[in-house]
Each structure stands twice: as C-alpha cells, then as structure tokens.
Amino acid sequence: MFQPTLAQARHQLKDKKYSAVELLQAVYKRIDAFDSRVQAYVHLTRDIALKQAEAADQKISAGEDAPLLGIPIALKDLICMQGARTTCASHILEQFVSPYDATVVKRLKDAGAVLIGKTNMDEFAMGSSNENSWFHPTHNPWDLTRVPGGSSGGSGAAVAANECIAALGSDTGGSIRQPAGFCGITGLKPTYGRVSRFGLVAFASSFDQIGPMTKSVEDAALLMNVIAGHDPMDTTSADVPVPDYSAALPQSVKGLKMGIPKEYFTSGIDPEVERAVQNAIQSLESMGIEKVEVSLPHTEYAVATYYVLACAEASTNLSRYDGVRYGFRSEKSGTLMDMYTNTREEGFGEEVKRRILLGTFVLSSGYYDAYYLKGQKVRTLIKQDFDEAYKKCNVIVAPISPAPAFKFNEKLDDPLQMYLSDIFTISANLAGIPAMSIPCGLSEAGLPIGLQLMGKHFDEATLLNVGHQFQQTTDHHLKHPKL
C-alpha cells in the first residue's frame, strides 16, 4: 500500500521516484476509495491542488527545493484558505468562502505544500467525538463504529487512513491530541503563541492553537519548522526564536527527567490504557530518562475551569454570527430581533448553543466574579503547578484519555461524560504549555492508545526529541488500520 510519511515523500519526490502530480493523484485515489466510509473530509480542493502540484513539479525539474515541495496536506475546516470554503462544520458558515489565507496556509504555500482539502470537525471545534459536525460524523479508521475523537477528528482520521500525507488541526482543550490518540497518529499542540492564529476561526482565543497531525514525530518536526514563528498579524503571537526542530530529533535523551503526575494515575482509567502508558514509561526509562514523581494538585479543577473560561470566550467570539455581515441568515425574520434570534437558533447546533449559553451566563452581571473571575484565578494556580513540576523534570508523561475510542452515541446524551473525556488534555491548554500525543500501544480490541508528553513553555524541541527517540525504539506508530 502506498503510504509514505512526509519525510519519505520529500526524499522520493526529490529523487524523482514519482512526480508531485502522481503523488496527489494517489492520495485522491485513496480518498475516492475509502472516504465514503471514513468521511474525514467536508470539501476537497482538487483544482487548486492540481495547480499547486504542477507548479511543484516545475520547481523540482528546475532543481529548486522547499521544505514541503509537492507534499499533499489537509487543513481542518476552521483554517481560512483563499478561494476555499471555510465552514467550521457549521450550518451558519456553510457557504462561506474565505477571501484570504491564514498565516499558516501562506507559510505552507510558501514551503511548496499542495493543499488537498478541508477536514471535518466538531462544529466550531466544540466537541470530543466529531459527532457535532453539521455535515456528517467522521468514523475512526481502526473501527468504523467508533468516534475518531474531536474536535480535529477529520484531520486525525485522514492521516490514519492515509488520505493525506499530513494535516493541520487546532487544539483548544485537547482537540489535536485526543483524536491523535484515538487514531494512532502523532499530534502536537504547540505552546500558546508559537504558531500564528491569524486566519483561524476563533472558539476560545486564549486557548486555541494550530498544530501538526502526522504519521511520525519526524513529520511533526518538519511541519513545525514551516508553521512556527512570530506573526505581526496576530497580537498573541510570541516573538521568540524558533529552533530547527528536525535538528533536535537525533539528540541523546540520556539524563533527562520525566515527571509522572500522581493525579493522572487514579481510579477511572481503563486498565488497558494504564498498562500501555506504564509500558511506555518503562521504555523511556530504558532509554536513560529518569522517572520522578511530580504533583499537579489543582488538576481536579481543570475541567470546570476550562468550561467556564472557554465558554465565556466562545460566547463573545460567536456573537459575530448574527445573519448581518456573512454566513447563513434565517428567512423567518419579521423584525431585526427575529432575524438575530432565528439565525442563531437555526444556524448553530445543540452543543454550540449549550456553550454559548453557559458562557453568556458566567459573564453576566452578578455571576462574573463568582465564575469567570474565579476561573481565571484557578487557571493561574494550574499554570503555577506546572512551573513547580518543571523544576524537577524536563517533560511530564501522562495518558491522553481515560479510555480508547468510544462508540458513536455512547456519550452524546451526557455532555458531562463527554467533557470528562478531555480530563488529561485540558490542563496543558490552561497553562499554555506544549503537549504531544504519540501512539504507545493497542487495546485488546485493536484500538490505538496515546501517550501524552507535556513540556515547558516554548520547549517543543524536547518533546519532539523524546517522542522521536521513543519512536526509534518502538513500532506503535508504524501500525495502520486495515480499512
């Protein structure tokens, strides 16, 4: 089966084993064969991609080079791409065509990438299962009766099913890492501010971060080299130096310390997940990484804090969808107020409305101090927990989720259970630190299990180094679903 990694495809294109157009055609052939079952995509950009692949072949023939020249890459459908629909998997933006490129898209184009289409997601990135998409649910390639995780489930499923060479997702509370864990791929949430958010449709602006979803840690490093860095168009973009992430991969990990947070290994974890994670910790120890226990005492407040703060920001961000300027407008509009109300009632799905209502409530007069302000204070405490822990270690190792991928409709009627599936990922977003998911085993039912690595602010290089060295000594990332 034709399924090169990004690194392999780069070398094979350079050596002219095949052309960029042939690689693109092979990827689209795979999509045509399997995506009716996986449903990873919501829109394909065949015409745009073909022109980009032809341009890449001309450059390769002329002896030119670029980091991603001719590589087919998919985008989560909340990343703006000029001339392509950007819907956030929502009825309210169903016909919206972006008039400009997000900064990450501009950087991908400058690096020679071929942008093949937009992947499915939970509507406005609100969900942990991809069941909240306006279009259709995405299926997990390892077991089509199960969810791929969310909200970047389309990107996760597309990479796992070899329907792209790599993809971009976004992570607000675990939306890159949880689907990466469920789909058996590598997913990195960079430090908040490391990758520009300009052109990313906002859910919660102080949490959202774009990152790579790939077949290996080596591929994630190659993508990070392209998308990371300061952007004057994004006021939250950090003006800090960007290392060469690929150069960090081969370094020795001997002497590094990994923190094992006692709060993450309590009751409620599936025994198979715990076993796989503990085996991974032993593998890391055998590589010369020292294990130390750390404490993150405010972990128990993370889920509540996240849903107060993220929903408050969502309530503010989503107030712009009112039927006036762009997007869907209800036809049942007698008065201006009717138009606002009916547009939002008909345009948003149930989960989005739930979060807008929750966010509006915690920001309302009389409740602001009790909820939103208190949430901000707890967020500071959670960040301080990590600062203390990193005095004793270089990385923190934990599970990605309490159990492997669950079945469709299993948690849909119980929002609280759905929210708790993000219990291990949310804290990294609250603290703004980088965190990565890598495969570390399969359950007895053949479902992938993810290992989470969390690092210090702007220290993605150490995460990528540790993850790459782990993948040099294990074969979990080389296993593929049999579609």
Instruction: Please report how the helices 20-38 and 46-61 are oriented relative to each other, as an axis angle in degrees rounded to 10.
Output: 150
**Using an 8 Å Cβ cutoff, are 168 and 74 in contact?**
yes
Would you give the DSSP letter of residue 372?
A: I
Tokens 């933006």 locate to 93
Tokens 């890449």 locate to 56
Establish whether 128 is a catalytic residue: no
Rounded to 5°, angle at Cα 412 from 480 and 167: 35
Q: Which residues of 317-330 are buried (b: 16+ CB within 10 A; e: fewer)?
A: bbeebbbeeebbbb
Establish whether 456 is a catalytic residue: no
From the list 220, 162, 126, 176, the residue with the least C-alpha distance to 35 is: 162
For 237-307, list the strands marked E by DSSP: 257-261, 290-294
Q: Which residues of 405-442 are buried (b: 16+ CB within 10 A; e: fewer)?
A: bbebeebbeebeebbbbbbbbbbbbbbbbbbbbbbbbb
**Using an 8 Å Cβ cutoff, are 151 and 419 in contact?**
no
**Using an 8 Å Cβ cutoff, are 187 and 170 in contact?**
no
Active-site residue among 133, 151, 216, 427? 151
Element housing 61 (H / E): helix 46-61
Rg (CA), the chain: 21
Would you give the DSSP letter of residue 322?
A: S
**CA 458/CA 433 separation, integer angstroms:** 7
Beta bridge partners of 291: 258
Q: Which residues of 222-250 are buried (b: 16+ CB within 10 A; e: fewer)?
A: bbbbbbbbebeebeebbeeebbebbebbe
**For residue 433, is it left (φ>0), alpha (ψ between -120 and 50) or beta?**
beta
**CA 457/CA 460 separation, integer angstroms:** 8
Rounded to 5°, angle at Cα 88 from 35 and 358: 125
**CA 67/CA 85 separation, integer angstroms:** 26
Establish whether 151 is a catalytic residue: yes
From the list 457, 479, 439, 469, the residue with the least C-alpha distance to 285 is: 469
Six token digits for residue 408:
């469709």
For 172-282, list the strands marked E by DSSP: 186-189, 209-214, 257-261
**CA 455/CA 53 separation, integer angstroms:** 36
Active site residues: 76, 151, 175
